[in-house]
Amino acid sequence: MPELPEVETVRRDLDGRLGGRRVAAVDWVDYRMVRGRIGAEALAVRLTGQTSRGVGRRGKFLVWRFQSGDRLILHLGMSGRIRAGVSPGETRAPHTHLVVTLDDGTELRLADPRRFGRVELVPKGSRQPLALGPEPLSRAFTARRLQMALSGRRAPVKGLLLDQRLLAGVGNIYADEALFQARIHPARSGGSLAPEEVGRLHRALRRVLRAGLRHRGTTFRSFQDGFGEPGGHAPHLNAYGRRGKPCPRCATALASAVVAGRTSHFCPTCQVIPARFETEGDKDRATL
């Protein structure tokens, strides 16, 4: 699933194409992708004629803002791809579920083979339906705030980093990378981390997310940026997806385990989990 660096890369690409453009028509919207109280037909009618104020992002969600105050929330799910500036003569990709024609004749298209994505129109004055924690690259996300989020928690730190209510935008890839950089085992309980370890994790999270942004996201199979190109960050990963390969620090073969229901990658030498640390709780279980 695209995480903060991938979604932010797409946001920047879309924002450059959509700012100031007017929606001429909504040619197609698949009702199965629509969430919220405004259905597919009403969404198409309400969106037509609106002028874009640009594209924002909240966690893993794109937020297309309009001068009316309405917002169109888009989530790419597991396999979604969204492009703007598409020529209407270009063959539509299979599983295209949203087509918006703009006043310059180009189209915005959303394709999602697995249909785990989401399209939701939030009218002006309505509360945005995204209950998310702080943005990890914002000033509001401090080491102290991370410490408060982890304090007293018996769940594995990996699962806590994936909880979007605690931290917005971090997923499996960048959680593994940050824990590797901070030398913290993913199955350590969140409350077991000392302040110095939380500080290392805070710095590592920001470093790995910024690196992902520099390389325009990570592509293994399906992620594409707003121009239809793959991200370039995969060769720069240190832990995620590298089971059996040598650790970049100590050359020990990297391992993987199911932690908080997700496959996690780590170095068994650099990221040791002391036996005294409890790894069960908060409905999470680490299988090592």
**Gap between the Cα atoms of 185 and 168, Å rounded:** 21
Residue 155: the pLDDT is: 95
In terms of Cβ atoms closer than 10 Å to its own Cβ (0-12, 13-18, 19+), residue 261 is middle
**Gap between the Cα atoms of 108 and 86, Å rounded:** 6
Query: What is the per-residue DSSP string for 70-94?
Result: -EEEEE-TTT-EEEEEE-TTSPPPT
**Gap between the Cα atoms of 27 and 37, Å rounded:** 20
Q: Give the least confident one: 28-42, 192-206, 207-221.
A: 28-42
Mean pLDDT of 167-180: 97
Mean pLDDT of the chain: 92
Mean pLDDT of 246-258: 96
Mean pLDDT of 85-107: 93
Q: Which of 101-115, 116-130, 178-192 has the highest mean pLDDT?
A: 178-192
pLDDT in tens, 200-225: 999 999 999 999 999 999 998 889 98
**Gap between the Cα atoms of 269 and 250, Å rounded:** 8
Q: Where in the sequence of the chain do the CATH 3.20.190.10 domains occur?
A: 4-122
Residue 75: the pLDDT is: 94
Our answer to whether residue 2 is catalytic in this structure is yes
Mean pLDDT of 113-118: 82
Our answer to whether residue 60 is catalytic in this structure is yes
CATH no. for 4-122: 3.20.190.10
In terms of Cβ atoms closer than 10 Å to its own Cβ (0-12, 13-18, 19+), residue 243 is middle
Report residue 275's pLDDT band, with 50, 70 and 90 as the boundaries: low
- Is pLDDT at 76 greater than 60 in this prediction? yes
Q: Which of 2, 5, 134, 156 is the catalytic position?
A: 2
Q: Which of 21, 53, 57, 60 is the catalytic position?
A: 60
Our answer to whether residue 124 is catalytic in this structure is no
Residue 164: the pLDDT is: 96
Find how far residue 23's CA is from the centre of its chain.
26
Our answer to whether residue 3 is catalytic in this structure is yes
245 neighbors 255 (Cβ within 8 angstroms): no
Q: Which of 183, 206, 243, 262 is the catalytic position?
A: 262
CATH no. for 143-287: 1.10.8.50
Q: Where in the sequence of the chain do the CATH 1.10.8.50 domains occur?
A: 143-287
